């Protein structure tokens, strides 16, 4: 059963009403006092639920008017860690993962440093090629501390997802990440794997993922074809 705070229950209820089409784009939510009455809670608790939806841009508040369901679902899942399928924004296309390499090795110095490992400690290196409808879309190289997921190099991934695997097999939940986004020219190997001309432009991301406040879980480099831009939303 629950254990969930009430505002979280309310948040999920509202979210599922939106996802299920009970509340549609542009619709006004019931007013805060109204929701408070419906759920039998105080208005501050309702506000707490709505606060979360506002942070995720699912709804917007308009003072004096009401709270409305946001128009653009494509901007909802951004600035958040998300499964590759959502990140690349291809909707219901056929997304597959092809593992090109998976092995244990002693961490190279630069990798060890960013993962806060000591010299000589091992890591698992994982290289995945992601395809969309059969066409290569992105290449991902991940480094995970061996101590965190000892059998990672010998086990299959849960649905191609490293984060799901870490969570379900080793109870390591990813909490946040920092990213550096840039561009680079495709190397010969990248070009052939991704089906782009050698020297052609690729989006690059270097990501360091954390579980707790200070413990890195994964260092990842990725190269993505430029026709899959990253969508972001910025607030003032």
Question: Cβ distance 197 to 161 under 8 Å?
Answer: no
Is 144 in contact with 124 (CB distance < 8 Å)? yes
Considering the rule CB under 7 A, would residue 6 count as an interface residue with DNA?
Answer: yes
Segment 94 to 113, residues that bind a second copy, using CB under 8 A: none
What's the CA gap between 186 and 20, in Å, rounded?
Answer: 42
Give the nearer residue to DNA in terms of CB position, either 162 or 172.
Answer: 172
Q: Does residue number 2 form part of the binding site for a second copy (CB under 8 A)?
A: no
Stretch of residues binding DNA (CB under 7 A), selected from 43-51, 78-86, 110-118, 147-155: 43-51
Q: How far is the CB of 38 from DNA (least distance, A)?
A: 12
Nearer to DNA, 34 or 155 (CB): 34
Q: Of 7-15, 127-135, 146-154, 227-235, which segment contacts a second copy by CB under 8 A?
A: 227-235
User: From CA 222, how far away is CA 55, in angstroms rounded?
Assistant: 28
Tokens of 62: 């308009």
Per CB under 8 A, does 203 bind a second copy? Answer: yes
In whole angstroms, what is the distance from residue 221 CA to residue 63 CA? 43
Q: How far is CA 43 from CA 39, 40, 54, 107, 177, in A?
A: 10, 9, 16, 53, 34
Neighbouring-strand partners of residue 59: 69
Q: Which two three-digit tokens encode residue 2?
A: 């629950």
Return the residues of window 48-87 that contact DNA according to CB under 7 A: 48, 61-67
Site residues (CB under 8 A) for a second copy, limited to 148-187: 173-185
Burial of 228 (0-12, 13-18, 19+ CB in 10 A): middle
Question: Per the structure block, which two tokens stand in for 89?
Answer: 């924004």
- Rounded to 5 degrees, φ, ψ at 143 are -120, 120
79 binds a second copy (CB under 8 A): yes
Q: Is 201 in the site for a second copy (CB under 8 A)?
A: yes
Residue recorded with tokens 């061996």 = 146
The one of a second copy, DNA, none whose footprint includes residue 2, by CB under 5 to 8 A per kind, is: none
Which of the listed partners (DNA, a second copy, none) does 64 bind, with a CB threshold of 5 to 8 Å by partner kind? DNA
Shortest Å, Cβ 234 to DNA? 19
Among 16, 19, 24, 33, binds DNA (CB under 7 A): 33
Which of a second copy, DNA, none has residue 33 at its interface (CB below 5 to 8 Å by kind)?
DNA
- With CB under 7 A as the contact rule, the residue among 22, 37, 44, 116 that binds DNA is 44
Q: Is residue 94 part of the contact set for DNA (CB under 7 A)? A: no
């Amino acid at each position: 059963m629950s254990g969930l705070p009430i505002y979280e229950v309310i948040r999920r209820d509202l979210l599922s009403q939106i996802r299920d089409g009970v509340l549609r784009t542009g619709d006004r939510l019931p007013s805060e006092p109204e929701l408070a009455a419906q759920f039998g809670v105080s208005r501050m608790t309702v506000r707490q639920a709505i606060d979360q939806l506002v942070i995720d841009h699912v709804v917007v508040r308009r003072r004096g008017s009401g709270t409305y369901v946001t128009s653009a679902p494509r901007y909802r899942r951004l600035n958040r860690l998300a499964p590759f399928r959502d990140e690349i924004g291809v909707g219901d296309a056929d997304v597959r993962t092809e593992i090109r390499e998976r092995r244990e090795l002693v961490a190279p110095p630069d990798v060890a440093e960013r993962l806060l490992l000591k010299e000589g400690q091992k890591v698992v290196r994982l290289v995945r090629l992601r395809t969309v409808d059969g066409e290569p879309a992105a290449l991902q190289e991940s480094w995970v501390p061996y101590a965190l997921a000892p059998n990672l190099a010998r086990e299959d991934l849960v649905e191609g997802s490293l984060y799901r695997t870490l969570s379900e097999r080793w109870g390591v939940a990813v909490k946040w990440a920092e990213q550096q986004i840039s561009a680079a020219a495709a190397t010969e190997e990248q070009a052939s794997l991704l089906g782009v001309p050698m020297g052609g432009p690729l989006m690059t991301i270097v990501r360091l993922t954390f579980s707790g406040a200070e413990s890195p879980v994964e260092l990842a480099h990725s190269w993505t074809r430029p026709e899959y831009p990253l969508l972001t939303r910025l607030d003032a």
